[in-house]
Amino acid sequence: MKNFDCVVVGGGMVGAASALALAQLGLTVALVEQYEPKSFEKEQKLDLRVSAISLASQYLLEQLSAWSQVMKWRACSYKRLGVWEQEYAYTEFNANDIEQSHLGHIVENRLLQLSLWEQINLQNNIEVFCPERLISLSQNTDKATLVLENSSLMAKLVIAADGANSHVRQLVNIGITSWDYQQSAMLINVKTQQPQQDITWQQYLPTGPVAFLPLSKSSVSVSVENSLEQSEQGGYASLVWYHQRDEIKRLSVLSNQKLQQEVLAVFPKRLGGVEVLDKGAFPLTRRHANTYQKNRVLLLGDAAHTINPMAGQGVNLGFKDVKALQTVISNAIAHGECWHEENVLARYEMMRRKDNLLMQSTMDVLYHAFSHPSPLIKTLRNASLLAVSKVPVLNSAIKNKALAYACGI
């Protein structure tokens, strides 16, 4: 049986980042993942699963040396964020307002995971077990034992980063509170007639929001020549269409050409012409684990919490979990404490639960406020957006604070 300081179950974006963050502290780490990420080919099609990576997440990924590779492959930075329901109340957030060059990047999940794995493969204190699956887990006072399909591991700390339906969470009997939003999200990758955009926008329709996330098929530091070439050819984008589940089911089985017609009929005119390249649907569920800790097992990322993706915060919360865990353990080591004592590990949940709950609740308030059919509420929400956009004192008091919060700074 192999012995490690930490075993991380799940090598997605959050699990891979936590393995690197723990290895940076000098700990020995095992990473257990069922599927190996595919390598990158320049011509590979744009992945459907993309994330808006906040500034705070970018800083963590830089610290883990995984950011520059993503930039070399492909990513799209954005510096503006447009939100509206009625055109007259259009509100735009700009990176300049918070003295930043950009608000974030839209990155394909698969590339982010792959870049983290490339760094993992360079560390001699991380051993990867892949393809491998967790079968069972038991704990006693000083260690946890994990039985995998092909081997067995022992560790002082187990990180559950195995996603929304976490097997580890179920094995250690941590319950969740959850509810369905009664909506699904359809992700649609398109080629746009308009050149590459530096804005991400979201319009609230009575049936749910429709959103535009700019994508790029080239690296961020493209030459002027390349970017001109791209602008002549148009850009790429990920569209997100939130709607009732039945409607998303209906849209999912349409041909790309038919879906394109429906997109053009429903999305705002500012989208311009598009060609649908790829599509997929995802149900929306909010989940929150009742506790993030069971003895020496800690939950991180989607294993601990999932939220409405309306504001693109899911994996950003997961990266904040990683940063908090690294801080807790590094402080304990610096103060000569036993870093894997249960009461030391408990500090991780104290740092993260309130913040995750606040973001989940903010998304719920937005979801309910913007889906309420009452004409009075509709007038109020548009008036609020207009006021935040046009009244200078509200502008700096609310708008810029909200923006900094969304960027995680």
Q: For binding to ligand FAD (CB under 6 A), which residues are involved?
A: 9-15, 32-35, 51-52, 109, 133-134, 161-163, 167, 185, 187, 282, 301-302, 309, 312-316, 318
**Least distance from C-beta 185 to ligand FAD, angstroms?**
4
Cβ closest to ligand FAD, residue 89 vs residue 279? 279
The CB-nearest residue to ligand FAD is 12
Report in angstroms how near the CB of residue 261 gets to ligand FAD at its nearest: 23
Distance of closest approach, residue 309 Cβ to ligand FAD, in angstroms: 4
How far is residue 303's CA from residue 224's CA, in Å, rounded to a whole number? 42
Q: Of 89 and 117, which CB lies nearer to ligand FAD in the complex structure? A: 117
User: How many whole angstroms separate alpha carbon 103 and alpha carbon 404?
Assistant: 9
| Alpha carbon 176 to its chain's center | 20
CB of 127 to ligand FAD, least distance (A): 14
Sheet with strand 236-244: strands edge to edge: 91-94, 80-84, 199-205, 208-215, 236-244, 176-192, 274-289, 305-306
Closest among 207, 227, 228, 209 to 218, alpha carbons compared: 227
- Which CB sits closer to ligand FAD, 190 or 332? 190
Which of 279, 128, 127, 262 minimizes the C-alpha distance to 189? 279
**167: Cβ–Cβ under 8 A, 6 or more apart, which residues?**
9, 134
- Note if the bond before 214 is cis, omega within 30 degrees: no
Least separation in angstroms between CB 29 and ligand FAD: 15
- Which pair of tokens denotes residue 295? 């003895």
> End-to-end distance of the chain based on CA atoms, in angstroms?
43
Kindly state the smallest distance separating residue 104's Cβ from ligand FAD, in Å: 9
Burial class for 32, CB neighbours closer than 10 Å (0-12, 13-18, 19+): buried
> Helix, strand, coil proportions of the chain in percent (round to 5)?
40, 30, 30
SS3 116: helix
For the bound state, the minimum distance from the C-beta of residue 91 to ligand FAD, rounded and expressed in Å, comes to 19
- Distance (Å, rounded) from C-alpha 404 to C-alpha 384? 19
26 or 131: CB nearest ligand FAD: 131
Query: Residue 12, by phi and psi: left (phi above 0), alpha (psi -120 to 50) or beta?
Result: beta
- Least distance to ligand FAD, CB of residue 34, Å: 4
Rounded distance between C-alpha atoms, residue 99 and residue 373, angstroms: 37
Nearer to ligand FAD, 112 or 385 (CB): 112
Nearer to ligand FAD, 18 or 91 (CB): 18
Residue 12 or 235 having the CB closest to ligand FAD: 12
Q: Are 8 and 19 in contact (CB under 8 A)?
A: yes
Shortest distance (Å) from residue 241 CB to ligand FAD: 10
Q: Which is nearer to ligand FAD, 220 or 282 (CB)?
A: 282
Closer residue to ligand FAD in complex, CB, 89/168: 168
Pairwise CA distance, residues 62 & 119, whole Å: 11
How many other C-beta atoms can be found within 10 angstroms of the C-beta atom of residue 45? 11
Beta carbons of 215 and 237 less than 8 angstroms apart: yes
Both tokens of residue 339? 């870093």
**Identity of the residue, 172 or 315, whose beta carbon is nearer to ligand FAD in the bound complex:** 315
User: Nearest CA to 57 among 104, 20, 8, 117?
Assistant: 104
Minimum CB distance to ligand FAD, residue 273 (Å): 24
